[in-house]
Amino acid sequence: MNRFVIAGTDTGVGKTVVSAMLVQALDAYYWKPVQAGLDDETDSQIVARLSGAALNRILPEAWRLRLPASPHISARTEGVEIDAEALTPPHVDGPLMIETAGGVMVPLTDGVLTVDVLARWRLPIILVARSALGTINHSLLTIEALRRRDIPIHGVAFVGDKEPAAQQTIARLGGVKELGRQPRLPTLSKETLRAAFDAAFSLADFA
């Protein structure tokens, strides 16, 4: 079964909403290995709400840390250290979407970056990038970091207003497939996410 890692070029680019869209469209399972920040709705809760997935398809996080910060900092405030070597994608009976915490260079411990775990997993990356100003630099740097470690990149999913020149530049210079673009949605719901997927993405790209 297909397993993808949903990674972003930065924090807050829209990974969780894209994850919810793909969980719904592919009838997939979802796993957020490290959740940093518990005061508001967690990413797992957002995906469950927006995708309408059955609760057994939203897998429990390996680490739940209260402070909304880089995982290594959040863990340190609680007097713990994330066991990065123990982070292993779960086996499920269907497609699986794994969402990272922040960008790929975010530290999980003082000596282990998220990208180090991704290099061990060797799962294809769906890179979520803004279509706004600055996205070319952030996207190409992220693609370079993944390629340097021989991590497969499935493609790029953009979030935001249509910026064809920037999107085409990233796809061409990064040598990656443009999977589609999720526009700014005035209302986030199961219905609007499904409509966004049907309008701009192809199910065949994830089969």
What are the structure tokens assigned to 68, written together?
């909304």
Strands 3-8 vs 63-65: parallel, antiparallel or unpaired: unpaired
Residues in the chain: 207
Catalytic residue among 15, 32, 162, 177: 32
Alpha carbon distance 31, 96 (integer Å) = 7
Per the CB < 8 A criterion, the answer to whether 55 and 66 are in contact is: no
> Is 32 one of the catalytic residues?
yes
Residues 6+ apart with CB under 8 A from 187: none
Alpha carbon distance 142, 136 (integer Å) = 10
Alpha carbon distance 64, 132 (integer Å) = 31
Scanning the structure block, which residue is given the tokens 């910026």?
Answer: 163
N- to C-terminal Cα separation, the chain: 9
Radius of gyration of the chain (CA): 16
What are the structure tokens assigned to 88, written together?
């292993």
Query: Catalytic residues, which ones?
Result: 32
